[in-house]
């Protein structure tokens, strides 16, 4: 299992991560990032892409 953390102080709600894993990261109606805090190991590539895409480097993954 992969644990997903987002530094909400760093996150500027740009939403790039949402394009990489749409069912894990999403902007709500207020434009604020919501995310699922855990995902299966099979999602690692997508999550790494999301973390790499984040311009604020706000996403941390732990296995």
Nearer to ligand SF4, 27 or 63 (CB): 27
Q: Tell the smallest beta-carbon distance from residue 41 to ligand SF4 (Å).
A: 21
Nearer to ligand SF4, 21 or 41 (CB): 21
Residues 36 and 15: their CA atoms lie apart, in Å, by 14
Tokens found for residue 42: 């099979």
Q: Tell the smallest beta-carbon distance from residue 55 to ligand SF4 (Å).
A: 6
Q: Which residues of the shown chain bind ligand SF4 in the complex (CB under 6 A)? A: 6, 11-17, 25, 33, 53-54, 56, 58-59
Closest C-alpha to 17, from 63, 57, 62, 41:
57
């Amino acid at each position: 299992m992969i644990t997903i953390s987002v530094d909400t102080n760093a996150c500027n709600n740009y939403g790039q991560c949402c394009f990489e894993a749409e069912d894990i990261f999403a902007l709500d109606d207020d434009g604020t990032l919501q995310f699922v805090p855990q995902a299966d190991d099979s999602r690692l590539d997508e999550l790494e892409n999301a973390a790499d895409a984040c311009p604020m480097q706000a996403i941390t993954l732990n296995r």
